[in-house]
Structure formats: structure tokens, C-alpha cells
Amino acid sequence: MAAYPSPSFALVLVVLLQACRVSAPEPNAPVAIEIPPIDESSSVDPELAEPDADLDEVATPYRGKWEGRGVQDDGQRWDIVVEVLGSDQKPCARVEYPPKGGSSVSCGGEWHCDLPPSTAARLVGVERILEGQGRCIDGCRVDFDLRRGRAAFDCPGVTAEAELERVR
């Protein structure tokens, strides 16, 4: 036989629920919020810069040479060297895929970072192969997160990722 709570238990529960009930605020009640003035003399944190901010001004901490290793979705691996120029002008970076293990296959080009959402800490754009055409895929979309040293490539028929470290 099932046990049911006693009537006194139910009464106590109802009283507790009534005591804990929170009433909703009156509709259309005025709300005052004080907003402090903006200090325009403070500098912008490069990692929080607006997407259309001038990369030449804010990307200084990330300018320089980056080296690393990449891997494609089909398992092919390759070395990569990127010179981050830190400018919103074309190009924003130069890239080289040097030969490895005696192979003479190499190519290089530029990243044109005119696609949003490029910021001080993230370069987003298109890779244009200028040397060694036919040995590397031209027109890949590149997304390089400079804070994490990770680049993603979305190419016709191939995707890839690379991990890079700033060397100078």
C-alpha cells in the first residue's frame, strides 16, 4: 500500500511555498542605470580590437617570422614559414612551404587579409601562390589565430591545419 503524506505535511509545504514566492516587478516601472563616461584616452587592447581596426597599428606584438608543421585531411604533412606583416594592406603575410627531406617541391606566396573578421590577433584571408604554382593549391581560405599559433586552411577539395610558433 502506498504511503501518502499527512495533511499537516501538505499544509506546511503550501505555507513554505507561499513564503518563498517572489512577485514580478510592476510592468513599465522606471529603471535607472548609471553609465560611466568613456575614457577616450585609454588604449585599445589588441586582442579586443574591432574587426575593421587598422592591423598595421595593433598587430605589432604578432609581427615577425612564424614556423611550424601542417597536416592535411588526407594525412600529408608539410613545413610552413609565415612572415606576418601586420598590415591591412595586401599582403598581410608572406608564406613559404619549404622543401623537406631532399624534395625540391616547394612553393610560396602571400596572404591577402581583406576578408572579415581579421583582427589584431587573427588573420583571415586568401592565400595566393606566386612561386611554384601547380605544386601547391592556390586560393585557399586561411584563418590564422596568432594567440594560439594555429592556422586552418580551407582549399578546394582539401582542408588542413598547422601549428606555428613565433621565432622572431
Residue spans per domain, the chain = 49-166
Q: Are strands 150-155 and 158-166 parallel, antiparallel or unpaired?
A: antiparallel
Looking at 2.40.128, 3.40.50, 1.10.3470, 1.20.120, the CATH number of the domain 49-166 comes to: 2.40.128
Does the pTM surpass 0.85? The reply is: no
The grid cell for 166 is 613565433
CA distances from 130 to 85, 103, 108 (A): 17, 19, 6
For residue 159, what pLDDT is reported?
97
| Number of DSSP helices (H) and strands (E) in the chain, helices first | 2, 8
Higher pLDDT, 95 or 38: 95
* CA 11/CA 9 separation, integer angstroms: 5
Residue pair 149/65 in contact by the 8 Å Cβ criterion? no
Give how far the C-alpha of residue 69 lies from the chain's centroid of Cα atoms, to the nearest Å: 19
pLDDT at 28 over 70: no
